[in-house]
Amino acid sequence: MREACGLGEAQLVRWGPALGVRFWAMGCQMSAWLASPIDKEGEEGLQAVVDFMREVEARLSRFLPESELSRLNAHGRISASPLLWAVLRQAIRAARATGGLFDPTVLSALEAAGYDRPFALLQPDDAAPRRTLPICWRCVRLHPSRREVKLSHGVRVDLGGIAKGWAADRAARFLSRWGPCLVDAGGDIAVRGAPPGWLGWPVGIADPWREDRDMAVLCLKRGGVATSGVDYRRWRRQGRDFHHIIHPRTGTPAQTDLLSVTVWAPSTMWADVMAKVALILGGRRGWRWLHARRLPALMVWRDGRARLTPEMFPLLWREGWL
Amino acid sequence: MTNGRHQGGEQAGARRHPEVGAIKLAMISGAALALVVGWSALSRDDRMSGTAASLSPSSGDQQSLLVPPVMVVIGGQGPGTQQPAPLPPAMIPTISGQTSDIPQFTPVPPVRTRSSR
């Protein structure tokens, strides 16, 4: 139920040189961190991040019927708030930049595949997957003068992944006025500055095979890192495996030989988009996609192999960086 | 005549001392063996110094992996993880000197990137 309502108390925690706050929002465990020294205002800044993330959820969750996004999907047009407008604009930009490999209009396909309620509430279901409705980012029309959004008939939008990355970037930019900071939006992590005396924040890359272990630890002082994977949000229907990464060209869960992709980019939102695109493309083509853009990345195959792009090596944590 | 006598004398000497032939044979075999051992050791050193990748899990249980460049093997929990197929050479990017000094110590990170959950 946490996914649906985003309730739960924020908890102040200390880690090494930083003070942080852990909380639930957008169906994920999130946290925000400020490096010492932290005054009262800094603590208020952390609380403001919690409030901001919950506002993003309240406006952009597809699971909340009263959210702005749900109203857009229900009525096909809306006069958008600045928040919805900003995220939608970035989503369309990402769709254009990736030739439609990232597409925010996959909601109908996602629901048709069975992901029609918060993940925690999904039940084994024997019902056949439904027919998918159109996936077409070009069918989202933005009118900047009136900040109005119109969707073509049948087109529905999901901003789940990209909204987390976007929100992490915005929250980190906000927090950075009090010093070096890090914002973790459910695995999409934005970083601004390094804690005093450190070269960067240590950020683990979780091992998709073992929940409790990191495959690598990165040292980050700027930009963002995100992981897209089919290792967790997956379910079975009629004996078939489904997951939440939809291939926009087929309208069904992507047939990929990859288990997860982690990407660093100058912004967390782009890291999220690039990781998703590489996952959809699969091992060989995804590697070429990331390599051509010289993006630091770690790809994990379903058969257990893993590869780092050359650009990722300089980001690995090294002894003596403390 | 002199040569003939000399060769004849050597042959006669070898016949008189068969252990000389055995020693020569042993020396040649030893040299060949040393060459093979040395070559294989050199190849292994090359692999270890240039291309081994070692990732540093936060828990401290280190994995040192002798695998092709920028390919690491994880876990063992997945299906068929024991023997990953080698990558075609064209897909292995050239890197040098970047993997040898990956640390033995890292702090436990406060956050981890992973597929959203």
Strand bridging mode A77-79 / A201-207 = unpaired
Give the Cα separation of A245 and A242 in Å (integer): 9
Q: B97 or A140, which is more confident? A: A140
Q: Is residue A135 part of a domain?
A: yes
A178: number of Cβ within 10 Å? 18
More reliable by pLDDT, B107 or A86: A86
Touching check for A110 and chain B: CB below 8 Å?
A: no
DSSP state of A150: E
Query: How many residues does this entry show for chain B?
Result: 117
Residues of chain A found within 8 Å of residue B78, distances taken between Cβ atoms: 209, 259, 302-304
Whole-model pTM over 0.80: no
* Interface check B73 vs A, CB under 8 A: yes
Q: Do A227 and B115 touch (CB under 8 A)?
A: yes
CATH code of A75's domain: 1.10.3980.10
Yes or no: say if A223 and A265 are a contact pair by the CB < 8 Å rule.
yes
> Can you give the pLDDT at residue B53?
32
The more confidently predicted of residues B102 and A272 is A272
Checking DSSP bridges between strand B111-113 and strand A201-207, what pairing results, if any?
parallel
Question: How close A144 gets to chain B, by Cα (Å)?
Answer: 31
Structural contact between residues A113 and A242, judged by C-beta atoms closer than 8 angstroms = yes
Q: At B67, is the pLDDT very low, low, confident or very high (cuts 50, 70, 90)?
A: very low
Reduced to 3 states, what is the DSSP secondary structure of residue A149?
strand
Res B65: pLDDT: 30
| Interface membership of B3 toward A (CB under 8 Å) | no
Query: Is residue A274 within a helix (H) or strand (E), and if so which, with residue range?
Result: helix A268-281
- Distance (Å) from the C-alpha of residue B109 to the closest C-alpha of chain A? 5
| A81 located within any domain | yes
Tokens of B15: 């016949």
Query: Residue A123 domain-assigned?
Result: yes
**Amino acid, res. A239:** G
Closest CA to B114 of A203, A227, A169: A227
pLDDT band at B105 (very low <50, low <70, confident <90, very high): low
> Which of A119, A313, A320 is the closest to B95 by Cβ?
A313
Q: What is the DSSP string of A184-208?
A: EETTEEEEES--TT-SSEEEEEEET
Q: Measured between CB atoms, does A90 come within 8 Å of chain B?
A: no
Q: Could you tell me if residue A272 is inside a domain?
A: no
Give the pLDDT of residue B58: 35
Within a domain: residue A276? no
> Which residues in chain A show pLDDT less than 70?
1-8, 117, 119, 121-133, 238, 319-322
**How does pLDDT run across A249-271, given as a tens digit for each residue?**
887 888 899 999 999 999 999 99
Interface of A with B in 174-233 (CB under 8 A): 182, 184, 186-189, 201-210, 212-217, 225-233
Q: Which amino acid is at A92?
A: I
Confidence of residue B77 (pLDDT cuts 50, 70, 90): very low
Task: Identify the top-confidence range among A38-42, A292-296, B49-53, B84-88.
Answer: A292-296
The amino acid at A36: S
Of A293 and B100, more confident: A293
Residue B7 has pLDDT above 60, yes or no: no
Whether A60 is in a domain gets the answer no
- Helix residue ranges per DSSP H, B1-117: 2-16, 18-51
- Give the domain extent around A130: 68-160
pLDDT at B22 (0 to 100): 76
Chain A positions touching B84 (Cβ under 8 A) are 301, 303-305
State how far residue B113 is from chain A, nearest Cα, in angstroms.
4
pLDDT at res. A221: 95
Do residue B111 and residue A319 have CB atoms under 8 angstroms apart? no
pLDDT tens digits, residue range A60-73? 998 899 999 999 99
Predicted local confidence at residue B38, as pLDDT? 59
Q: Do B112 and A208 make contact, defined as CB atoms within 8 angstroms?
A: no
> Which of the pair, B68 or A137, is modelled with greater confidence?
A137
pLDDT band at B45 (very low <50, low <70, confident <90, very high): very low
Mean pLDDT, rounded, for B65-70: 33
- Provide the domain count of chain A: 1
The residues, ordered by sequence, that sit 6+ positions from A155 with a Cβ below 8 Å of its Cβ are A76, A105, A108, A133, A134, A135, A136, A139, A140
Residue A202 is assigned to a structural domain of this protein: no
Q: Is A80 within the bounds of a domain?
A: yes
Most confident of the ranges A305-309, B20-24, B103-107: A305-309
In whole angstroms, how far apart are CA A193 and each of A205, A274, A287, A318? Answer: 19, 23, 29, 18
Kindly indicate the confidence band of residue B5, based on its pLDDT and cuts at 50, 70 and 90.
very low
Closest partner residue to A202 (CB to CB) among B91, B109, B115 is: B109
Residue among A48, A50, A41, A40 at smallest CA distance from A9 = A50
Work out the pLDDT band at B106, boundaries 50, 70, 90: low
Whether the CB-CB separation of A262 and A237 falls below 8 Å is answered with no
The SS3 call for residue A138 is: helix
What is the distance in angstroms between the CA of the first residue and the CA of the last residue of chain B? 97
